[in-house]
């Protein structure tokens, strides 16, 4: 946690967060004086999700999404908390950068969507072609910008041309300089109502999408694929696919176990807000589900490292996901009932 100054000298506190989008949204609200934590934004924006997208490939590996599509969490949370944001995209990079400078001069801090691959301070471990990485620009400095990237510990300096490259990438993964800043924020948002809306929305996303690749059904689909994968792809390739899945569970800014721990933290806070024991129980249950996902990734890592060959098999890894699916289905069915009884 470090304090920085925005362009007009107003202090901005940089919090280390697990996920870019939720942490940026929470930082924008905090800057306007509404104290709201990252897990809270995640829960209110109905971030939790599951989707297995075998037809979209990043670096030859299929995408497994553990949260709803990029941008949606910000939109939903802003709407439910009564925040009014100016959202802009640009075709012309020069115009996009000029307007960014103008807005910064008025003392606003600005959220940006960038392509993770092109940000100059990102290292090889995080580098993949993903166009929805959110950062906050605090102020202009000589030859560049001061940036608070909440997924990393401290604010960083970024050269102007590097930022321009990251904002305007040719091709299908172009963020088009997507930029947002606050117009006005409700200083006393209706947190309880927003939480209930978020929970109900999450339930329908996880349980009611009638396609086999989303929600709980998607998990079962993925599990079956993993169990079959060594026969279909060969051991080496199956390992690579498994490693890709684990990367989506643990690495891509999920805060561990595919956002499940963060979601549990949301229920922990919500239980305090509603002073409800049921929500506290749900929080514990979600933590247990998170532990289950962690167990899956450890099993997967053991398969990759070829430890205990007889015990750690693809069937076991798939079985763990099936178990996760069953538990999450029960969890969200229970949440549906609990959320209905909560009063805003």
Residues engaged in binding another protein (CB under 8 A): 16-18, 39, 57-61, 117, 121-129, 151-153, 165, 169-173, 239-240, 242-244, 246-247, 250-251, 253, 255-256, 261-262, 264-265, 268, 287, 294, 297-298, 300-301, 304-305
If 0-12 CB within 10 Å is exposed, 13-18 middle and 19+ buried, where does residue 172 land? Answer: exposed
Nearer to another protein, 101 or 128 (CB): 128
Q: Dihedrals φ, ψ of 185, to 5°?
A: -130, 135
Q: How far apart are CA 63 and CA 69, in angstroms?
A: 12
> Whole-number minimum distance, CB 39 to another protein, in Å?
7
Question: What SS3 state is found at 81?
Answer: coil
> Whole-number minimum distance, CB 117 to another protein, in Å?
6
> Whole-number minimum distance, CB 288 to another protein, in Å?
10
Nearer to another protein, 58 or 72 (CB): 58
The two tokens of residue 72 are 């949606």
Nearer to another protein, 60 or 188 (CB): 60
Q: What crossing angle do the helices spanning 191-207 and 72-80 adopt, rounded to 10°?
A: 140
- β-pair type (156-159, 133-141): unpaired
Nearer to another protein, 98 or 237 (CB): 237
The two tokens of residue 249 are 């569970």
The two tokens of residue 41 are 């934004």
Largest CA distance in the chain: 63
> Whole-number minimum distance, CB 162 to another protein, in Å?
11
The two tokens of residue 103 are 């807005």
Nearer to another protein, 204 or 306 (CB): 306
Q: Which residue has the tokens 């924006």?
A: 45
> Whole-number minimum distance, CB 211 to another protein, in Å?
23
> Whole-number minimum distance, CB 86 to another protein, in Å?
29
> Whole-number minimum distance, CB 40 to another protein, in Å?
11
> Whole-number minimum distance, CB 157 to another protein, in Å?
14
CA angle 30, 148, 136 (to 5 degrees): 70
Q: Which residue has the tokens 């009638």?
A: 210
Nearer to another protein, 113 or 283 (CB): 283
* CA-based R_g, the chain, Å: 21
Q: How far apart are CA 64 and CA 337, in angstroms?
A: 28
Q: Identify the CA nearest to 180 among candidates 269, 103, 81.
A: 103
> Whole-number minimum distance, CB 108 to another protein, in Å?
26
Q: How many CB atoms lie within 10 A of CB 12?
A: 19
Q: Identify the CA nearest to 160 among candidates 104, 117, 97, 111.
A: 97
Nearer to another protein, 87 or 301 (CB): 301
Nearer to another protein, 139 or 260 (CB): 260
Nearer to another protein, 39 or 96 (CB): 39
Q: Please, what sign has the CA dihedral across residues 115, 50, 38, 197?
A: positive
């Amino acid at each position: 946690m470090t304090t920085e100054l925005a362009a007009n000298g107003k202090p901005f506190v940089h919090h280390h967060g697990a996920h870019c989008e939720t942490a940026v949204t929470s930082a924008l609200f905090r800057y306007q004086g509404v104290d709201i934590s990252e897990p809270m934004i995640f829960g209110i924006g109905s971030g939790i999700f599951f989707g297995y997208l075998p037809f979209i490939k990043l670096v030859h590996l299929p995408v497994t999404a553990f949260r709803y599509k990029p941008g949606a969490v910000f939109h939903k949370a802003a709407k439910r908390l009564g925040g009014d944001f100016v959202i802009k995209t640009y075709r012309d990079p020069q115009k996009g950068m000029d307007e960014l400078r103008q807005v910064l001069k008025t003392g606003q801090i600005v959220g940006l969507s960038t392509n993770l691959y092109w940000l100059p301070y990102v290292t090889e471990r995080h580098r993949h072609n993903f166009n929805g990485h959110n950062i906050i620009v605090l102020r202009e400095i000589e030859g560049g910008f001061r940036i608070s990237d909440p997924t990393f510990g401290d604010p960083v300096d970024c050269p102007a041309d590097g930022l321009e490259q990251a904002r305007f990438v040719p091709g299908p993964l172009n963020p088009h300089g997507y930029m947002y800043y606050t117009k006005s924020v409700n200083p006393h948002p209706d947190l309880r109502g927003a939480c209930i809306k978020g929970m109900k929305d999450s339930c329908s996303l996880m349980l009611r999408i009638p396609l086999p690749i989303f929600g709980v059904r998607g998990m079962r689909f993925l599990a079956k694929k993993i169990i079959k994968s060594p026969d279909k792809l060969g051991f080496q390739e199956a390992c690579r696919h498994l490693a890709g899945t684990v990367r989506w569970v643990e690495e891509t800014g999920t805060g561990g176990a595919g956002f499940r721990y963060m979601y549990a933290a949301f229920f922990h806070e919500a239980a305090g807000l509603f002073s409800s024991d049921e929500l506290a129980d749900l929080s514990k249950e979600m933590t247990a589900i998170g532990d289950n996902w962690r167990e899956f990734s450890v099993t997967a890592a053991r398969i990759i490292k070829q430890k205990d060959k007889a015990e750690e098999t693809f069937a076991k890894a798939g079985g763990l996901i099936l178990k996760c699916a069953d538990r999450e289905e029960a969890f969200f069915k229970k949440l549906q009932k609990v959320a209905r009884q909560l009063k805003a």
